[in-house]
Every structure is written in C-alpha cells, then in structure tokens.
Amino acid sequence: MSVIISPSLLSADFLNLGQDIDMVNKSKADWFHLDVMDGVFVPNISYGLPVISQINKKATKPLDVHLMIVQPERYIEQFFKAGADILTVHLEACTHLHRTLQCIKSFGMKAGVALNPHTAIHNLDDIITDIDLVLIMSVNPGFGGQSFIETSLNKVKKLKKLIRESGSETLIEVDGGVNTETGQALVEAGADALVAGSFVFNSPDPQETIRALKELK
Ligand code: DX5
Ligand code: ZN
C-alpha cells in the first residue's frame, strides 16, 4: 500500500483557503490534516469548529483532525458534526483515554492518539488495540515549519513492533518537519501516513510536492 499523504492546512493561505482546498482535492493527497490549537495545551491558537464546518463543504477527502486542546472529550460530538472523519486527541491531554476513544468511535469516526516528542511508546502498551491511528509528533506541537526531531524514527520502529506483536491494524502517522528526505526515512521505518504543512504549501508547485511525497516507498 502506498503512503497516505495528509497536507496540513495550517500552512495554507487563509485569505484564499478555497483555492488551497481545491488544490488538495485535485492532488494525489489522501486526507486533509486540520490542526486545532487552544492556546493552553500548546502555545498557539489556530482555528476551530466553524472553519472546519466550512472546509467540510468543499473538501472531497477525509478530514484528519488533530486536536491540540485540553479536555478534548468535551468537544467530540461537535467535531463529528463539523465533519471530522478521523479525530486525534493527545495522550497527554486525556485522563481517561480509553473512555475518550470509545466515545470518538461511537460516532463512527476513527480514533487517533497523538504523542508529544517526550512521550514514550510504552504508554500505549495496554491500549494499542483500541486505537485506529497513532500520530507521532516529530516536532513540539504548536507551529508549522519546525525541524524534524531525528529520534522520532526510532519511535516509529518501536511502535511498528508493538502493533505487529499486538495483532492490531493501527496506522502510524507522523507530523512535523516532514519533507521528501525525512519522509523517506519515516516510510522505511514503518510510517503509514505523513503530514506535511510548510513543505507542501511553501513549495513552488504544491501538487507536484504532494506527488513526490506520495511516491515515497
Ligand atoms: C504542528 C502541527 C502540524 C504542522 C506541521 O503542531 O501539528 O500539523 O502543520 O507543519 P510542518 O509540516 O511545517 O512541520
Ligand atoms: Zn498536526
């Protein structure tokens, strides 16, 4: 199976968001990665429910929503209604992660768990079979355009081993500092999906950049 590409709209042109959504629709990308930040869990504020509802009207591909917010369990139904297909919460933001994942799945969404760079894979030992997708943060969440943290490659390998041993079908997605070089190393380490923001939207030909990422093997 080819690698799943999820362009992050955080680096899109918000004055012309419709054009960037059309570009992703026409491209070889698989999902739209939407970053929600609350200014508490991360030191930045992005966009929220009304913007996602509008994106959902135009996007022809699944919405991969990454919640960088505290107490994400309070907003699961609202993100479902806004159009999320995959809803990812941070492990560090959930006291009752198991309950939160069950709630996400009860709406028919795929349930994702994101790990900050300092959070070890072994925290997932007892819950991996309940997770549809693990999002490994390869930068500290909050901003686009940061450099890839190299130790993330080892985390992908450890996670791949855990998934294999547990017999689960959890997907591994990686977010932060992804370009064709880091993307290549990530695919070799076992990543199933790559998020890319600045590398796609700051490139001269974003559709071509998406195609180049999609061809990584
Ligand atoms: C960072 C976000 C990312 C961000 C990635 O907190 O979760 O999705 O858009 O941006 P790049 O690809 O530029 O590192
Ligand atoms: Zn993200």
Distance 196 CA to ligand 2 centre (A): 9
Exactly one of 30, 35, 38, 132 is catalytic; which is it?
35
Q: What percent of the chain has pLDDT over 90?
A: 100
3-state secondary structure of 81: helix
Q: What is the pLDDT of residue 1?
A: 84
ipTM over 0.85: yes
d(CA 42, CA 160): 27
Distance 93 CA to ligand 2 centre (A): 15
pLDDT-based confidence at residue 89 (cuts at 50, 70, 90): very high
Beta bridge partners, 111, equal 87
Q: Could you tell me the CATH number of the domain that includes residue 208? A: 3.20.20.70
Mean pLDDT confidence for 125-133? 98
> Do residues 105 and 76 lie in contact, with contact meaning Cβ atoms separated by under 8 Å?
no
Ligand 1, atom nearest to 42 Cα? 6
Which pTM value belongs to this model? 0.98
Range of the structural domain that residue 127 is part of:
4-214
Question: What total of structural domains would you count in the chain?
Answer: 1
Q: What is the pLDDT of residue 86?
A: 99
Look at residue 133 and tell me whether its pLDDT is greater than 90. Answer: yes
Mean pLDDT confidence for 128-142? 98
Look at residue 141 and tell me whether its pLDDT is greater than 90. Answer: yes
Q: What is the pLDDT of residue 91?
A: 98
d(CA 154, CA 160): 10
Look at residue 147 and tell me whether its pLDDT is greater than 90. Answer: yes
Whether 85 is catalytic is no
DSSP 45: B
d(CA 121, CA 109): 23
> Do residues 52 and 32 lie in contact, with contact meaning Cβ atoms separated by under 8 Å?
no
Contacts (Cβ under 8 Å, ≥6 apart) of 28 = 5, 207, 210, 211, 214
On the 0-12 / 13-18 / 19+ scale of CB atoms within 10 A, 27 is buried
For the chain, the straight-line distance linking the first and the last C-alpha, in angstroms and rounded, comes to 9
Q: How far is CA 152 from the centre of its chain?
A: 15
Exactly one of 20, 30, 38, 175 is catalytic; which is it?
175
Mean pLDDT confidence for 158-174? 98
Distance 4 CA to ligand 2 centre (A): 14
Q: What is the pLDDT of residue 96?
A: 98
Establish whether 66 is an annotated binding residue. Answer: yes
Ligand 1, atom nearest to 11 Cα? 9
